[in-house]
Amino acid sequence: MFTDFPEQSRVTQLLQRSIERNRLAHAYLFTGGSLDELEGVARTLAKTLNCQNPTRRGENGMPLDCCDACDSCRRIEELNHPDISWVRPESKSRIITIDQMRDLMQTVNLKATAAEYKVGIIVAADRLNIQAANAFLKTLEEPPPKSTLILLTTESSRLLETIISRCLRLNFAGEAAHFSKDQVAWLSAFGDMAAKADRNLLARYRLLGLIMKRLTEQKEIIEKALTARSPLERYDDLDPKMREKLEDELTAAVESEYRRQRAELISALQWWLRDVWLQTLVGGADMLCFPDLLATAKTIAQRISTTDALENIQHMDRLLRQLNSNVQEALALEVGLLKLKL
């Protein structure tokens, strides 16, 4: 439901007003700091447009929020609604290919089978390769009636201008707002360990172990959740070719979601290191991304220079770029963490 996103009320209210006034855009570009949150709002919009028992209706009778309980809402939540399409980067190349976009365009142009609105959601749209983006332009500019396309990105600067110009762009609130309570709890444990540890190689490897353990747990959770949603778990008599296709899609979805959550973890660490840098400059709790973690940030700041603190942020920026390529994960994390001055 839209009420599940109180920090994004400006965006959700705009979407609701657009629905009520029959001015829903043919294509949206959602930009923000968290793909997970962007996906949540996009999924809620798809539910609301097709909800069978909406909790709110406008003066014109249009639904303004979904019930999260009807058959349509449940199927959209479980990613198995025939009229709601999701496109994600492929696992090996980490790009969205022209074949994926052709499949999406074909699906969007077919008559809806169980929905009022057809919705296409492109996750990490900045990973569209040039061929896929160019092939998508005409459909993006003039999708069929009763359909909307939603592009999601945390890196809008990587999108082609021709894509951006064809979408209504909605910017989601604050960078700091997107970190979940679970992420902040993990970061608190990381900060405590870093603040209490000796400044030696063994302590640094303990911190690396904490990161690797967290990533392993995240991947296991992702695999379990996406496998449970896959049609592979519901149908035993699938055609071998269809089974192989679904297995490949599941593998790709797991890898894509894992990479996204890994990037969020490193990004959270980078923002905490920014707090440390701010402490070396001015102290106090103003402008902090994680004010509740001030104590550990201050402890680290007292034993490193402003130059070292700034270099720590730059190391994390390089690490994020490396992890976007096909670099070996463990090696990149090890090198990146050993360069930090804590």
Residue 190 confidence (pLDDT) above 90? yes
CA distance 296 to 188: 8
Asked whether the beta carbons of 1 and 65 are under 8 A apart, the reply is yes
Q: Based on the fold, state whether residues 7 and 148 are members of the same structural domain.
A: yes
| Entry field: residues in the chain | 342
User: 76: pLDDT confidence band, cut at 50, 70 and 90?
Assistant: very high
Strands of the sheet with 168-171, listed across from one edge: 84-87, 118-122, 147-153, 27-31, 168-171
Q: Which two tokens stand for residue 12?
A: 């959700």
Query: Does 88 have pLDDT greater than 80?
Result: yes
What the block records as the tokens of 135 is 């092939």
| Whether 192 and 115 share a structural domain | no
**β 63-65/56-57 pair status:** antiparallel
Mean pLDDT, range 73-86, rounded to an integer: 90
Confidence of residue 49 (pLDDT cuts 50, 70, 90): very high
Total domains, the chain: 2
pLDDT range class, residue 91, cuts 50, 70, 90: low
Same domain, 29 and 10: yes
* 167 & 253 share domain: no
Q: Look at 206 and 10; give whichever has higher pLDDT.
A: 206
Is the pLDDT at 105 greater than 70, yes or no? yes
Least confident of 61-65, 85-89, 221-225, 338-342: 61-65
**Helix 9-20 and helix 35-50, axial crossing angle in degrees, nearest 10:** 20
Distance, CA of 237 to chain centre: 33
d(CA 81, CA 129): 27
- Banded model confidence at residue 342, pLDDT cuts 50, 70, 90: confident
How far is it, in rounded angstroms, from Cα 145 to Cα 163?
A: 20
Q: 85 forms bridges with which residues in the sheet?
A: 120
Whether 177 has a pLDDT exceeding 70, the answer reads: no
Same domain, 329 and 196: yes
Q: What is the pLDDT of residue 286?
A: 63
| CATH code at position 132 | 3.40.50.300
- Report whether pLDDT(39) > 60: yes
For residue 173, the model assigns a pLDDT of: 66
- pLDDT, averaged across the chain: 86
pLDDT tens per residue across span 218-259:
999 999 888 887 877 777 777 788 878 888 888 888 888 888
* Domain residue limits at 246: 179-338
93: confidence class by pLDDT, cuts 50, 70, 90:
low
Tell me what pLDDT residue 288 has.
79
Residue carrying structure tokens 């942020």:
313
Same domain, 70 and 113: yes
**Both 8 and 65 in a single domain?**
yes
107 with 229, same domain: the answer is no
Distance CA 111, CA 114 (A): 9
Q: Are residues 233 and 253 in the same domain?
A: yes
> Cα 60 to the chain's mean position, in Å?
33
The predicted pLDDT at position 331 comes to 92
Residue 176 has pLDDT above 60, yes or no: no
Tell me the per-residue pLDDT of 257-313, one tens digit each, with 9 for 90 and over: 888 888 889 988 988 998 899 888 877 666 778 888 999 999 999 999 989 998 998
Residues facing residue 62 across a β-bridge? none
Q: Which of 177, 209, 244 is the last residue of a domain?
A: 177
Domain boundary pick from 160, 177, 194: 177
* Residue that terminates a domain, selected from 136, 155, 177: 177
Whether residue 208 sits in one domain with residue 193 = yes
151 with 295, same domain: the answer is: no
* pLDDT on residue 207: 92
- pLDDT band for 217, please (50, 70, 90 cuts): very high
Q: Residue 25 has what pLDDT?
A: 87
Same domain, 111 and 202: no
